[in-house]
Each structure stands twice: as structure tokens, then as C-alpha cells.
Copies of this chain bind each other. A is one copy, B any other.
């Protein structure tokens, strides 16, 4: 169901780091984290393991490169077309393109943050292995390229908010942390339809979670049982944006109480 282009019979045209990373991403998307092996990779690229090791140091580096490629595409605004125009026009389900373009309307900083955040959110839904990889990559080496890239794309919008410079780091960190936490947890949604038995769709899935929560021990889990029903009909992207808005509201409440026309609230339907 993924890409139909390019099959295995292409021994011609030279191997390259780029092609290897591309194949790795496809393999991860198709077969999941455990599906990325050097044997599967050699087969798909019609070569031997030694050839891959000539271009890539080891599996960790390959995973880092795959993560970086996908994150860069997701976070680079203003490139591709056909992406979410504005976070106000809510549409269900993940989008198709890999980069959110800011076609047209010069958005407010808040909307810019929402667009970037949604771009990452959708990328993780499309590539569920990103959730784990991001956690690995970010916690292992903040000196890598992935962390600064995410940080930069959010931070540039924070700078446009009227937050004192001394708070830039803290505010941007808070936003990035929320986005990564939320997107990570919602990686399940990408796995629905892939891993789940066909016939069980998203509604059925939410229903099963809701039911499972309702059957928890009443003494240990009173709150979780109480909200179990709210799980049933909720929209993940909607909830994700509500969380962003909560943080944005906190930022304006904290940093410019007396001042300006605080924030541009999203259109509420």
C-alpha cells in the first residue's frame, strides 16, 4: 500500500548513501522496526552487506540518517505543495505530502507553530517507527542534527511571539517537549490498519481502548474509568491542537499579561 515505484530488478545505477537511506525508510514504513535488517536491505538493493557498510558506518547511523531525512522533510516549511494550508481547516486522517508548506496566507506565529507541530505529528503517524527513533536519537545525542532542526523550526516562531529573549529557550523547549510527547504517544494511529486485523478500523480501535479502560480496577483507576468514555469519539489531531493551544495560552498568560491582544485563538466550531 505504500510506494509502488521501483522494484528489486535495478542492479544498474550506482549505490549511494542516499539510496540506502531511502530504502531503509521504505523498509521501516512497510515492515516496521524489526523489518529493517541488512539482509532485507541487501536484497532490496540487490547488493551485499559490504557494499552498504561502505556508505554507512553501522545500523545506528543508518537509523539516525533515516530519522533525520524524515524529520527534515516534515519540519521544513515552504517547500512542497498540497500540504495543510492552515491548521484551522481541520481534516481528518493524515495528510499525504511529507512537508507542510505555508502556501499563501501569512500566518500568525501561533498558526506557524500549529503548522510545524502538525507536520511533525503527521510524520509520526505516517512513520510510526519515528516515535521510538526520536526518543533514541534525542536522548542519545542533542549534538546531532535532528534536535536542532526541530528546535529551530519551532523557535523561529517563538521569536515572533512577544516573549522576552531570556525565555526563548524555556518556552521553545516546552513546546518541543509537548509536541514530541504527544506525537510519540499517537504513533499508534499509524499502526492502525497496518498491524491491526483488517475489519477493526479506527472507531473499533478507540472503542476497544475505551472498553479496556472501563474494565480497570475501580479502586486503582477511578479517574481513568471516568474519562474512558471520552476516549471513544475523540479526534487525535483535534486533541493534539487543543494541547498546543493550552501551551500557547500559558505562554501569553505568563509573558504578556498587560500587553497586546493576547494570541489568536483558533476558530472553534
Q: Please list the residues of chain A having a beta carbon within 8 angstroms of any beta carbon in chain B.
A: 128, 131-132, 134-136, 138-143, 147-148, 151-152, 155-156, 158-159, 165-166, 168-174, 176-182, 184-188, 191, 208-209, 212-213, 216, 220-224, 226-227, 230-231, 234, 239, 242-243, 245-254
Instruction: A65 to B169: give the CA distance in the assembly, Å.
Output: 36
Q: Are A180 and B171 in contact, CB atoms less than 8 angstroms apart?
A: no
Residues of B within 8 A of A182 (CB): 173-174, 177, 181
Partner of A243, one of B159, B170, B184, B212: B170
Partner of A246, one of B155, B174, B221, B223: B174
Instruction: A184 to B132: give the CA distance in the assembly, Å.
Output: 10
Q: Are B246 and A148 in contact, CB atoms less than 8 angstroms apart?
A: no
27 residue pairs A–B, Cβ–Cβ below 8 Å: A128-B139, A132-B135, A132-B136, A132-B139, A139-B185, A143-B208, A148-B213, A148-B216, A148-B221, A152-B220, A156-B223, A165-B226, A173-B182, A174-B178, A174-B242, A174-B243, A174-B247, A177-B181, A177-B185, A177-B243, A178-B178, A178-B181, A180-B184, A180-B185, A246-B247, A247-B250, A249-B250
Q: Are B148 and A188 in contact, CB atoms less than 8 angstroms apart?
A: no
Q: A151-B224, A170-B242, A181-B182 are in contact. List 4 more A-B contacts (CB 8 A).
A: A131-B139, A132-B135, A176-B181, A178-B247
Name the prevailing secondary structure of the A interface residues. Answer: helix
Closest to A156 in B: B223
Q: Are B185 and A148 in contact, CB atoms less than 8 angstroms apart?
A: no
Instruction: A87 to B138: give the CA distance in the assembly, Å.
Output: 26
Q: Are B223 and A155 in contact, CB atoms less than 8 angstroms apart?
A: yes
Partner of A169, one of B151, B156, B231, B249: B231
Q: Are A224 and B155 in contact, CB atoms less than 8 angstroms apart?
A: yes
The smallest C-beta distance from A192 to any residue of chain B, in angstroms, reads: 11
Instruction: A176 to B177: give the CA distance in the assembly, Å.
Output: 11
Instruction: A247 to B222: give the CA distance in the assembly, Å.
Output: 24
The smallest C-beta distance from A223 to any residue of chain B, in angstroms, reads: 4
